[in-house]
Amino acid sequence: MNSDKNRVAPKAWLITGCSTGFGRALAEAVLKQGDSLLATARKPEQLHPLIEDYPKTAKAVRLDVSSSQDIQAAVDTAIATFGRIDVLINNAGHGLIAALEEVSDDEIHQFFETNFFGALRLMRAVLPVMRQQGSGHIVNMSSTAGLVGFGGSSLYCGAKFALEGTSEALAKEVESFGVKVTLIEPGAFRTDFNGRSLAAAEQSIDAYAPVIGASLQWFKEMDGQQPGIPAKAAQAIIQAVESPHPPMRLVLGTDAMSLIQEKLEWVKTDLDAWQQVTVSTDYPEHVNYAK
């Protein structure tokens, strides 16, 4: 992390899902370095131990990201308390292990409400503030599963892929306003994602048992054994936020880096193998056969 003497000024952060995991680690880190924080959770009483030592720089409020009213109230509170919002961390979310055929319409809608539409609502709520300020940074917690598809995680991957595409396009829309956007793509970290935050579909289909069973077994065996350290992830995210040239994507963890590198090679292999078919669909005058 940058040393205190290199920091221009304290920032005001709004972080969702601060009760545990990455959200908690980030909340602790930004408060320790002297920044202001609106910490949010569905049960804000869980945040009292976090903020009690920072009465002047921290405030906890209830925020269910599926509620537009909660979101607007949180943004209004941040402005009323700190006068600005410099950093939004869209962190709230949970996992789901299920084959696509197993999930119901209601389960799909509820999952995307929390894992995609909640982030979308928060971005839309803070953007007018950041535009008026002429600065700001939106940090969206994605995943390795935002770039790599995993069997048994089709809905989770779908939500994260959607978040990735939205974030990449948004970065181009708001660049001229001084607003930055960064995606965080962690691998396996020692949070409660593999335990309390992991759900399963209400119904199961025997035909998918080998795939779903393998996924569930992996998550169970990895719980508490993940290689990633949340506190170090928090410092890496802070470093990206404080950089004058933050990355569009910040990959966290050796496992994430390896999986994403494999995905990129896979994409390139398909592009190269099917190049002739690809270019054959253009009018002849538009074809450039040079590699």
Tokens 């069973």 identify what position? Answer: 213
Which residue type does 151 have? G
Which of 154, 160, 180, 215 does the annotation list as catalytic? Answer: 160
Residue 59 annotated among the catalytic residues of the structure: no
Report CA-CA distances (Å) from 238 to 73, 143, 155, 241. 25, 17, 29, 5
Which of 142, 143, 153, 154 does the annotation list as catalytic? Answer: 142
Report CA-CA distances (Å) from 147 to 109, 186, 252. 22, 11, 13
Give the closest residue to 179 by CA, choosing from 246, 81, 250, 122. Answer: 246
DSSP character string of 30-80: HHHTT-EEEEEESSGGGGHHHHTT-TTTEEEEE--TT-HHHHHHHHHHHHH
Which of 11, 156, 180, 215 does the annotation list as catalytic? Answer: 156
Residue 160 annotated among the catalytic residues of the structure: yes
Residue 289 annotated among the catalytic residues of the structure: no
Which residue type does 177 have? F
Which residues lie closer than 8 Å to 76 by C-beta, 6 or more apart? none
Give the closest residue to 138 by CA, choosing from 112, 107, 173. Answer: 173
Let me know the angle formed at the C-alpha of 289 by 285 and 290, rounded to the nearest 5 degrees: 125
Which residues lie closer than 8 Å to 83 by C-beta, 6 or more apart? 12
Q: Counting every residue, how long is the chain? A: 291
Report, as residue numbers or ranges, the catalytic residues: 142, 156, 160
